[in-house]
């Protein structure tokens, strides 16, 4: 015991002598013409005073970690809930549209072809939503191939849906505002619709190539780019804003403005109803797409500038992205209502399909269809979807 106590008494003295010798060596090295650059760098980086302690360190130069746990907790319940609702409504609405087309063989106009392709695009997107819900709730365990497939399906369906909406507005413009010239190509309308639809899917696939290539698993989460690929993220988001929002919005604005002007010059009791339908179509597009693309634009600008030091702003931006993205996803379940179910003939065929499938009684079918005459007149009566309710 005496030896142990003597050793304990000697330890402080030994440490003091070692520190004094080490300081004298440093002083001699400073006086020499040659020095150790690695030693100088390490000492300046540590900035540790020998006479002080850790409480004297200055932490102002260290970056503050932005905590995002509240956003993660929010996503765990918000995203799966909304994804489930959108998936159910999207599958139901688009399946009814597809079944109606095939059951009655309704591909008679260019609009019919576009609506069928739009339903396939929205159905494809709705089928990917369960994987999105799983990705937001827990760690991604399905592998890189499924991860890439999920993001590629999303991009292909997203681009094709936006392009088809643009082509529908162009087709409606020629049918209503340029009825005389459009009548010449009436016999070729279905063929032109199929060719243009195939071109739309090819373009959507080409624009989705970056998603196929760069999608990866980062921190056990399936993401379209790695965490340090800021330039790639900026370019991909900017191209999405331009191609899938700004361009369709420009085309739809020009076409529907011309259609409204043509309808205002026409006469008939259906004119005001047709204008209301157009306004509903435009309103749904704006409500679903504008908020998300504005938030996406702000996020792109922040990323291009190297991020933001404001942690509260970054968290609010994440909340806004999650909420507006769910609103944008609503398009896949709203498109059947604003483009297909709003047409008189399509509603009649849908009710007949439900009756034939046993989902509706004969009495109820006649209650909804008896006494309702089909639309006619200035808005192209032979199309499945017209701007006439």
pLDDT tens-digit map of 25-40? 444 444 444 434 333 4
**Structure-model confidence comparison of residues 351 and 323, the more confident one:** 323
**Structure-model confidence comparison of residues 6 and 155, the more confident one:** 155
The gap between the terminal CA atoms of the chain, to the nearest Å, is 101
Quote the CA–CA distance of 335 and 96 in Å, as a whole number.
Answer: 12
C-alpha atoms less than 13 angstroms from C-alpha of 88 in its C-beta half-sphere? 5
- pLDDT tens digits, one per residue of 345-363: 788 888 888 888 887 777 7
Q: What is the pLDDT of residue 76?
A: 85
Instruction: Average the pLDDT over each of 68-77, 159-168, 279-288, 375-384 and give the range with the smallest value.
Output: 375-384
**Structure-model confidence comparison of residues 11 and 88, the more confident one:** 88
Share of the chain above pLDDT 90, in %: 34
For the chain, the domains span 72-340
Share of the chain above pLDDT 70, in %: 76
Please compute the mean of the pLDDT values over residues 43-67 and round it to a whole number.
47
Q: Please, which pLDDT band fits residue 87 given cuts at 50, 70 and 90?
A: very high
- pLDDT tens digits, one per residue of 165-211: 999 999 999 888 887 777 777 778 889 999 999 999 999 999 999 88
pTM assigned to the model: 0.77
pLDDT at 332 over 50: yes
Please compute the mean of the pLDDT values over residues 56-70 and round it to a whole number.
59
Q: What is the pLDDT of residue 32?
A: 44
CATH of 72-340, one of 3.40.720.10, 1.20.1070.10, 2.60.120.380, 1.10.4190.10: 1.20.1070.10
Contacts 24+ apart (CB under 8 A), 175-181: 175/111, 175/380, 175/383, 176/259, 176/262, 176/263, 176/378, 176/379, 176/380, 176/387, 177/258, 177/259, 177/261, 177/262, 179/380
The per-residue pLDDT of the chain, averaged, comes to 78
């Amino acid at each position: 015991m005496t030896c142990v106590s003597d050793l304990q008494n000697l330890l402080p003295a030994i440490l003091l002598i070692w520190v004094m010798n080490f300081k004298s060596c440093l002083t001699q090295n400073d006086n020499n013409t040659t020095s150790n650059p690695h030693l100088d760098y390490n000492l300046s980086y540590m900035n540790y005073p020998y006479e002080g302690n850790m409480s004297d360190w200055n932490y102002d130069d260290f970056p503050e970690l932005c905590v995002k746990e509240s956003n993660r907790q929010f996503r765990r319940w918000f995203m799966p809930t909304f994804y489930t609702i959108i998936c159910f409504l999207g599958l139901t609405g688009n399946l009814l549209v597809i079944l109606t087309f095939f059951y009655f063989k309704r591909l008679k106009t260019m609009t019919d072809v576009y609506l069928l392709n739009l339903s396939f695009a929205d159905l494809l997107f709705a089928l990917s939503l369960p994987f999105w819900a799983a990705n937001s709730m827990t760690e991604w365990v399905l592998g890189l191939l499924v991860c890439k497939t999920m993001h590629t399906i999303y991009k292909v369906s997203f681009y094709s849906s936006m392009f088809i909406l643009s082509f529908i507005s162009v087709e409606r413009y020629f049918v209503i505002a340029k009825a005389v010239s459009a009548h010449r190509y009436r016999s070729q309308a279905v063929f032109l619709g199929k060719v243009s639809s195939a071109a739309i899917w090819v373009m959507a696939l080409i624009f989705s190539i970056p998603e196929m290539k760069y999608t990866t698993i980062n921190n056990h989460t399936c993401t379209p780019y790695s965490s340090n690929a800021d330039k790639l993220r900026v370019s991909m988001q900017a191209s999405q804003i331009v191609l899938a929002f700004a361009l369709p919005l420009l085309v739809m604005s020009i076409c529907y403005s011309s259609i409204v002007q043509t309808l205002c010059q026409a006469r008939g009791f259906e004119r005001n109803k047709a204008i209301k339908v157009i306004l509903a179509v435009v309103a749904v597009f704006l409500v679903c797409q504008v908020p998300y693309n504005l938030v996406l634009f702000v996020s792109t600008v922040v990323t291009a500038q190297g991020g933001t030091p404001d942690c509260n702003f970054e968290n609010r931006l994440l909340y806004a992205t999650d909420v507006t993205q769910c609103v944008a996803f609503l398009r896949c379940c709203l498109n059947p209502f604003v483009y297909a179910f709003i047409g008189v003939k399509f509603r009649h065929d849908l009710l007949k399909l439900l009756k034939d499938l046993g989902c509706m009684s004969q009495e109820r079918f006649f209650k909804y269809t008896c006494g309702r005459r089909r639309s006619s007149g200035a808005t192209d009566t032979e199309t499945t979807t017209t701007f006439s309710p």
